[in-house]
Structure 1
Amino acid sequence: MTFVGKLWLTSSKDFYLPGYQGLKKSPRWSAPDMRVVYWPSGCVCWQLNLYLLHVRRSGSAISTVNTYASELCLLIRFLSESECPLEEISDDVLVSFSEWLLQRKKSSGNHINRIILRVITFLEWYQTLLIGRVLVGTLGQGGQVTITLRSLRGGRGAVRIRTQHHAMVPASIPRSVHPVSSGSISALLDSCEWTAKTNFRRNRDRCMLVLLADTGVRREELTWISVSDVIGAAGDRKLPVRTSKRKGNPYRLVPISDETHKMLVEYIDVARSIQVRKLKRRKIGYKDLGWLFCTREGLKMAPSTVSQLFSDLRAAAGITERVSAHMFRHRYITLQVIARLRSLSQRGSIGVEAITTVLSKVASLSGHSSLDSMWRYVDWAYEQLEYEYNDSANVAEEALRVIEVLMGDAQSSASKELSESLSIVKDALSQLRTKSYELPSVVAHSLRGSGNKPRD
């Protein structure tokens, strides 16, 4: 058997790590859907599989183990093409591997560096199985791969040790991520219908997309939402959300629409309830943990699973542009800023203090701890407002041309009453066209950097 594409096969749903027969009921040793790695020739890569078993036994999640497998499979493919044994990896081989990754043009600089560090970690573990062989070491230790350890001092005097190797490449320039378009959201929702193999998956995935768009929560925050949180929001329609990236993960209340709440309750009462009943019949002692968006096995969903869902739906929908869960968050926050700017523009010009107040209110919904990174949403809000105003102006221009033609027909037919009515409509459209070009004051928007430098 030769592997041309991916270099792994997946274990069964009920697979447990070998050697622990007496502990089979312990979730610590379960390894469902865990990847088993092969060389391109079809031979089992026992070294890498032992390392993955070690990672799983150390307490890492299956999704983490499988991510490590994907990254290290790139090393296995490169070594196979280079006809280099695993034990012969050196500094030169690692540099060639880094150049090989660059030539593939499928990984960013940051991703390549992460792969290099994963390879070094694997080699550090693997050398413990070898006798008289130092695969990795600092200068003077005689390692085949020479690393440098740097001490980095963080906040409150904390010290971190960073591993570096000269095979690492310059970090990538951050990509500019914009709010997701409404067309992409519709395409993703439609693709849920034909990509999901079960009714539970179909309903769950659609509810996840709608809730992300309606609340702007982060991936991890989405996985923390429970059934009781949704039921508790029945009165005031405010969903309690645990805030990630904040110390202690404090709760914040995010308003949701009646339609969204009704959709979630229906999903809980029907699709999710049926899935839980199936699990209780199939698994003795199964207990529902109450997660709103659980896996098919009733477990808590991982944030990486949310990302994989977007990748699958995007491919199924044929969307070529980048789409992610965080872009849903960008869209939600931008719409919140737009709504408040429209309200303020009715009262006159908008100053720096007014926009800062707007951002503070939106931050209480989005869970931002600092306003510095939120000024870009003002940029996006003004871009959207300008597009909408220009679009409405074009519509008004076209309508005026039609009205003028109709007025000419009315005058030629001597219909005075129709001519007067069309004149009233023309005056109204003229006012709409003038108003279409009236954007909210951009004074605060253009000068905000003078006293408040944005930091992403």
Structure 2
Amino acid sequence: MAKKLYKCAPGSFRLPLFADSNGKLKSRKADGVPFVHWPDGSWCLPANLYMQELYRRGLSTKNGGGTLATYAAGISHLIRFCWDTRKDPRELSNDDFAKFIKQLSDEPCRRHLGQKARNANRVVDVGRVCLDFLDSYARHLGDASMVGPDGRIRCERKTARIRTRRKDGSAGEIQRQYWHHHAFPQRDPLRKRLPISAASIALLQAATIECSVSRHQRKRRLVMLKLLEMTGGRRGEAGRLTVKSVRDAAAMEHPMLRLPTLKKRKDEDRLVPVHGHDLRLVLEYIDVNRSRVIRDKLGKSNDHGIVLIGETTGQPLDVGTITREISTLAKQAGLTGKACAHMFRHRFITKVFVSLIELHRCANTDEFRRFLLDGEAIKRKVMEWTGHGSIASLEPYIHLAFDEFANIKKTYSQMNTYLVIDSFASTIEQTLLEIKSAGSHREQAVAILATFSSQLADLKRELLGLDRMAEDAHLEAA
């Protein structure tokens, strides 16, 4: 694998802006901004001008560079091509760019013989980013003849219109511009990534027992899987969950876990409904396994407050580590299909909507038809839980609209009962695995069983609370 051509700025980095009349340099915090270099390590001015422009546009730099890092990875292919052909980006011709796209399309995969390194969709995505980079460079140079319909690189900017719905439920439209070049391959049909199955989650949980080298690592991996499953959070969001958030949620009658929302430049949080027995598993890791590492590696006074930490350093796990952890577990479990953190998010969102649809359909067919026609309130509530930027972005998960607003409380009660039981089934699997791993250690097995007993009590309380909610909703409807 070729070495990366960019490195993200550390947390202390400040971007210089200008010098005031007293000669004092003004700057602003800009951690995570990628710095791009040529293959020999020297500064790549055109690429870094582009990175600064993207940063000013407001693109995210969270979690290892965020969206800016994605753009940096995309233009790195063109930077490497320019280096190999000994050309500055401004010197590229239309034939050069077509040759570059062909190289992207034909490059073989190093890991899987007989396969391509990237599919047609990925080639088009990289090509569009590279044209945007070249257009930015041309504007910095004041060279209007570099890219365009009549430019040295002949391309055009097109507009895509995406149908959406506004918050008030009325129809809307979003316009997105993109670059096109005749050398781009025909896009492949989009293949939706399916939610991870309950069977696959069970295999991943079992793999934590088989391939973990310490109690802390085993427990942290189980908690990591549980957090992804129960919150529907992105990997970076699960990685930034705080101990305070978990403790605050555990103290609530109806727990709502505060989770950071990424994909946005401005820091925001959202509240996600969770179950008490799930929180008990996380708290056990915090109070037993995590606290020991924090005490030994950092000291309690230096505790940063993030839940998932590395055993050798006590520092928070980064998104790359979470990805590698799931990959390791998937390999140990023998999963043949794709397994990644985002598939847990698909599962969370899909479970919510499937439970709503199935439960309502069973209740009354005529009511279900009405249920399809006016359900923007349900969509907006789920959008709050998942951290999506718009209602339209939930459409891949549903093809129907949901519930009349007056019936939402009753529907939520049915839905939550379904989700509580489904979640507790997963908790049972984890507890059985931990008992198995305890082996002959009687004290450890007894402690695990005591935790399980408390989880069962939590389940009973939750179901009782949901019964009361359903009864209240029934009385209110009457």
Specify the TM-score bucket, using the shorter chain as the normaliser.
0.5 to 0.7
Greater strand share, 1 or 2?
2
- What's the counterpart of residue 411 of structure 1? none
- What's the counterpart of residue 353 of structure 1? 367
Residue 55 of structure 1: CA displacement?
6.5
Aligned 1:22-421 pairs, distance under 5 A: 28=29, 37-39=37-39, 42=40, 44=42, 46-47=44-45, 50-51=48-49, 54=52, 61=61, 62-64=64-66, 65-79=68-82, 86-104=89-107, 105-127=116-138, 136-139=146-149, 143-150=151-158, 161-189=177-205, 203-219=219-235, 222=238, 225-234=241-250, 235-236=252-253, 238-240=255-257, 251=270, 253-258=272-277, 260-273=278-291, 288=304, 290-293=305-308, 310-311=326-327, 313-314=329-330, 319-332=335-348, 351=365, 353-354=367-368, 367=385, 369=391, 374=397
Query: SS at the partner of 1:233?
Result: helix
Q: Which structure has the greater CA radius of gyration? A: 1
Higher mean Cα deviation, 356-365 or 219-228? 356-365
CA deviation profile, 1:17-58 (whole Å, cap 9, x unmatched)? 8989x999x9835569x676443xx56463466458746975
Residue 220 of structure 1: CA displacement?
6.5
Residue 114 of structure 1: CA displacement?
2.4
Relative distance call for 1:206 and 1:114 in structure 2 (3 A) is same
CA deviation profile, 1:188-237 (whole Å, cap 9, x unmatched)? 34555788899877654432211222344455664675433322332435
Relative distance call for 1:350 and 1:160 in structure 2 (3 A) is closer
Q: Which amino acid aligns with 1:106?
A: A
Q: Distance in 1 between matches of 2:53 and 2:203?
A: 38
- Asked whether the equivalents of residues 246 and 279 of structure 2 are also in contact (C-alpha less than 8 Å), the reply is yes
Gap regions ≥5 residues in structure 2: 18-22, 108-115, 165-171, 401-478
Q: Distance in 1 between matches of 2:399 and 2:176?
A: 31
What do you get for the CA RMSD once the two structures are aligned? 5.6
Residue 321 of structure 1: CA displacement?
0.9
Counting aligned pairs with the same residue, the percent is: 22
Relative distance call for 1:376 and 1:91 in structure 2 (3 A) is same
- Asked whether the equivalents of residues 50 and 137 of structure 2 are also in contact (C-alpha less than 8 Å), the reply is no
CA deviation profile, 1:308-364 (whole Å, cap 9, x unmatched)? 65456545655331123343244445656777888789xx88636358869979965
Higher mean Cα deviation, 60-69 or 208-217? 60-69
Relative distance call for 1:178 and 1:204 in structure 2 (3 A) is same
- Asked whether the equivalents of residues 71 and 118 of structure 1 are also in contact (C-alpha less than 8 Å), the reply is yes
Query: SS at the partner of 2:29?
Result: helix
Q: Distance in 1 between matches of 2:15 and 2:382?
A: 47
Relative distance call for 1:172 and 1:89 in structure 2 (3 A) is same
- Asked whether the equivalents of residues 293 and 301 of structure 1 are also in contact (C-alpha less than 8 Å), the reply is no
Relative distance call for 1:209 and 1:112 in structure 2 (3 A) is same
Relative distance call for 1:350 and 1:196 in structure 2 (3 A) is same
* Residues matched between the structures, number: 361
Relative distance call for 1:297 and 1:56 in structure 2 (3 A) is farther
Q: Which amino acid aligns with 1:93?
A: D
| TM-score normalized with structure 2 length | 0.54
- Asked whether the equivalents of residues 148 and 154 of structure 2 are also in contact (C-alpha less than 8 Å), the reply is yes
Relative distance call for 1:93 and 1:199 in structure 2 (3 A) is farther
Residue 98 of structure 1: CA displacement?
1.9
- Asked whether the equivalents of residues 196 and 339 of structure 2 are also in contact (C-alpha less than 8 Å), the reply is yes
Q: Which amino acid aligns with 1:117?
A: R
Q: Distance in 2 between matches of 1:224 and 1:30?
A: 16
Relative distance call for 1:49 and 1:158 in structure 2 (3 A) is closer
Relative distance call for 1:109 and 1:146 in structure 2 (3 A) is same
Query: SS at the partner of 1:266?
Result: helix
Residue 176 of structure 1: CA displacement?
3.5
Q: Distance in 2 between matches of 1:23 and 1:188?
A: 55
- By relative contact order (CA 8 Å, sep 6+), the higher-ranking structure is 2
Residue 297 of structure 1: CA displacement?
8.3
Q: Distance in 1 between matches of 2:135 and 2:85?
A: 22
Residue 136 of structure 1: CA displacement?
3.3
- Asked whether the equivalents of residues 132 and 179 of structure 2 are also in contact (C-alpha less than 8 Å), the reply is no
CA deviation profile, 1:97-129 (whole Å, cap 9, x unmatched)? 222222233334332222122222333444467
Q: Distance in 1 between matches of 2:137 and 2:300?
A: 40
Relative distance call for 1:76 and 1:277 in structure 2 (3 A) is same
- What's the counterpart of residue 2 of structure 2? 5
Q: Distance in 2 between matches of 1:157 and 1:331?
A: 28
Gap regions ≥5 residues in structure 1: 378-456
